[in-house]
Chain A
C-alpha cells in the first residue's frame, strides 16, 4: 500500500511534466497554424517501408545510448547531493585521449577496445576527481569548479586536437586525430536486428548499447545492494546524519566524483567506437549538458534515465520528419525545454505532497517526535522523512532506514 503510494508519487512528477509539455506543444503548434494531432502523427511516423522504420529506431537508440550514459553520470553525483556540471568537459577530454590511445597501439580486438574504454574512464575519473579533491580539501563548491574545469577541458581538448594529437594534414577543414585501427572498433548490432527478422537498416546500431545496459544495471545494483551505495544515498539524504553514523563523508565525495567521471568518460565511446573511429572538430558536443536534463527527467534512477534518454532521442529524431511536414523543427527544442522546466516544478509539487503525507504519518506515529523541521543535528527517526525526500529521491527512504 505504502509502496504503491510512493511509486505513484515518484511517477507523478515526470508524468505531470510531460503532460504540461504536451499541452504547451499543442498551443505552440496551434499558434503557428498547424494541427497538433497531425504534428504528433508526423513525429511518431517512423517511415513507410520496414527498412525505414528500423532505420528510425536505430537512429533513436544510437542517440539514446550516449544520453543515457550522460544522465547516469550526472545522476550518481546528484544522488550524493553533488551537482556535476563538468560532465561535458570530462567526456570530451576522455574521448580525445581515448581516441589517441586507441590509435597509438595495435592489440587483438577485445583487448584493444578494453584499453580504449579503460583510458576513457580513467581520464573522466581523474578530471572529475579534481572537483572532488578541491571540494574536500579547500571547500570549493563543486558547481563552480566543475563549470570552470569545463572551459579548461574544452580548451585542452582543442589544443590537443590541433596540436600534438592532430592526425589530419594541414589545410583541412575538419581537424581529426589519427584513426583507430579496425581491431579497436566495437561491432555493430545489425546482425542481431536481421537475426530477429527485422529489415537491415542503413546505419549501424551501436554495439555499445550492450555496454550501456550493463553499466546501467551495475549502477542500479551498486546503489541499492551495496554498502557503498547505501553510504552514498545516506550522505546525499542527510550529510550530518551519515557522518554521525560513521560514514566518511569526505571520502564519499571523492569516490562519488571518481565514479561519476568514469561513467562520463564513456559518453563519447558509442560514437567513437561505433562510427567515427576518431575524435574530430565535428565530434558531437553538448551531451554532458543534455545529460543534466535527462537525469532530472529520469529522477536519478537508472530506469527513469533510460526512459528519459529514449524520450529525448525520440524527440530529436522527430525534428527530421517535422521539417518535411513544413513544421519548424524548433518545436522539438521547445518541448525538450518545457519538459525540463516542468519537471523541476512537478518535482517540487510532488515533494510537497510527499512531505505532507510524511508529516501526517509522523503525527500519527506519536506527538513526541514533533517539531517537524529536523534542523537539530541529531536526526529524529520520524518526521525528518520529509527532509530526506527533499533531495528529490522519493521511493528511497525505506532503504536508508533499514
Chain B
C-alpha cells in the first residue's frame, strides 16, 4: 500500500514537472481594449505538431502574441490531431466561436480552408504558406488571404554564405519532405552557392517522400543523413526539416562542422551551447512579421481578401540571421547579393 502511494507520488511529481513546462494556451489581452471597440479575437490553427517546434509554428505564435500586445484582444491556438484529419473542424470551430481573423498555418490547410471559408463568409481567413488560388486556379474565396514567402530569395543568401565559408568546396542540403515548398529552398540555396562558386559540390537529400510527413519530426534520421554528408566531405549543411533540424545540428557538433538553421533564428532557439556553436546562420522566414502585419491590416480594415501578400527580401519577410557573428566577415558580400536580388539583377529560380 505504501509502495503504491510512493509510486503514485513519484509519478505525479514527474507529470507535474512536465506539465509546468507547458504554459496554458490562449492568452488574454495585454493592452486591454486599446484598439477597436470590438475585442479582437485571433484564431490560430497550427500545422502538424503544433507549438513547440522552435521554428515555424512558434514563429506564427510569436506573431499572434505581438499582435495581441499591440492591438489588444485575445488569441486562441488549436492544433490538429496526429493524422491531421480534423483540420476542417478546427477552422470551422474557430469561426463558429467568433474568432476573427482565423489564420491557418501551413500549406496542408489548402483544401480545407477553401471549404470552410465558403461556410463562413463573414470571417476573414489567412493561410501561411498557401496562395489564395487553389491548384486548379480557382480562388479559395474572397475572404481568404494567402501569406507567402519568397523562401528561394533567403535561401539564395544562405547558399552564398555557405559557399563563401566552405573550405572543402562541398556543402549539403537536407529537406524534411520532398515537396514543392521545400524544393524552393533547395533551388535558392543551390543557385546562391553556384553564384559564388560555380564549381561547388552540393549534396541534397530529403528525409521523406511527398505524402509522408515523418521527415519533419525525425531528428534521428536527419542526424544519420547529415553524418553521411559530413563524412563525404561537406562542411556546411543547410537543413529545412522543421523538428528534425536538431539532428543535423548534433551531427555537425559531433563532426566539428557547421550547419544553417531555418525559419526562426535557431542560434537563439536551441538551448544547448554546443549546438549553438555550429549554427553559422539561419535562413529566416518571418512568419511572425507576416501574421502581425496581417492582423494589423485586419484591425485597420484594409484586408483586401481574395489575394496574396508576398513577403520577400525587400519587405524583410525572409533574410539571414547574424546571431553569433559567424558571418560577420562576409556580411558585405551578402548585403551586395541581397541588393542585387531586390533590384532584380539576380533572378532566383524556384525549382531545383
A interface residue numbers (CB < 8 A to B): 27-28, 31-33, 52, 59, 63, 154-155, 157-159, 161-162, 168-176, 202-203, 280-287, 316-317, 319-320, 323-324, 326, 328-329, 332-333
Contact = CB atoms under 8 A, between A and B. Distances in A.
B351 interface: yes
Contact of A284 (B16, B85, B210): B85
10 contacts: A27-B12, A27-B15, A31-B12, A157-B211, A162-B211, A172-B180, A174-B107, A281-B211, A283-B211, A316-B86
B113 to A, nearest CB: 12
Given A320-B90, A323-B25, A286 B211 contact: no
A172 B135 contact: yes
Interface residues of B, number: 43
B94 to A, nearest CB: 9
A159 B88 CA distance: 27
B130 interface: yes
A63 B83 CA distance: 12
B97 A173 contact: no
B141 to A, nearest CB: 16
A63 B84 CA distance: 12
Contact of B209 (A59, A162, A170, A332): A162
A282 B180 contact: no
Contact of B351 (A32, A171, A172, A176): A171
A108 to B, nearest CB: 26
A135 to B, nearest CB: 28
Interface centre among B92, B178, B209, B212 (most CB of A within 10 A): B209
Nearest to A332: B81
Contact of A31 (B16, B79, B86, B179): B16
* Minimum-distance CB pairs A-B, first 10: A281-B211, A173-B107, A158-B209, A172-B135, A32-B19, A284-B85, A323-B78, A286-B83, A31-B15, A158-B211
Interface string B107-123: 11011000000010000
Given A203-B88, A284-B84, 17 more contacts: A27-B15, A31-B15, A59-B89, A63-B85, A158-B212, A169-B135, A170-B180, A170-B351, A172-B180, A173-B180, A202-B92, A281-B211, A282-B108, A316-B81, A320-B78, A320-B93, A328-B25
Contact of A154 (B12, B88, B212, B350): B212
Contacts of A280: 211
B96 interface: yes
A284 B112 CA distance: 13
A333 B80 CA distance: 12
Contacts of A323: 25, 76-79
Contacts, number: 102
A173 B181 contact: yes
Contacts of B350: 171
Contacts of A172: 135, 180
A283 B112 CA distance: 12
Interface string B221-247: 000000000000000000000000000
Contact of A175 (B16, B82, B86, B179): B179
B26 interface: yes
B69 to A, nearest CB: 20
Interface in B1-46: 12, 15-16, 19, 22, 24-26
B210 A158 contact: yes
Interface in B43-69: none
Contacts of B24: 326
Contacts of A158: 209-212
Contacts of B25: 323, 326, 328
Interface string B314-341: 0000000000000000000000000000
Contacts of A319: 81, 86
> In this complex, which of B85, B89, B93 has the most chain A Cβ atoms within 10 angstroms of its Cβ?
B85
Nearest to A171: B180
A329 B179 CA distance: 29
Contacts of B111: 174, 282
A87 to B, nearest CB: 14
Contacts of A320: 78, 86, 89-90, 93
A402 to B, nearest CB: 43
Contacts of B97: 324
Contact of A286 (B82, B178, B210): B82
B74 to A, nearest CB: 11
A94 B154 CA distance: 41
Contacts of B108: 174, 282
A154 B211 CA distance: 9
Interface in B155-202: 178-181
A59 B90 CA distance: 12
B179 A287 contact: no
A324 B93 contact: yes
Nearest to B137: A169
Contact of A329 (B76, B79, B89, B211): B79
A284 B93 CA distance: 20
A174 B96 CA distance: 27
A326 B97 CA distance: 14
Nearest to A160: B211
A23 B251 CA distance: 42
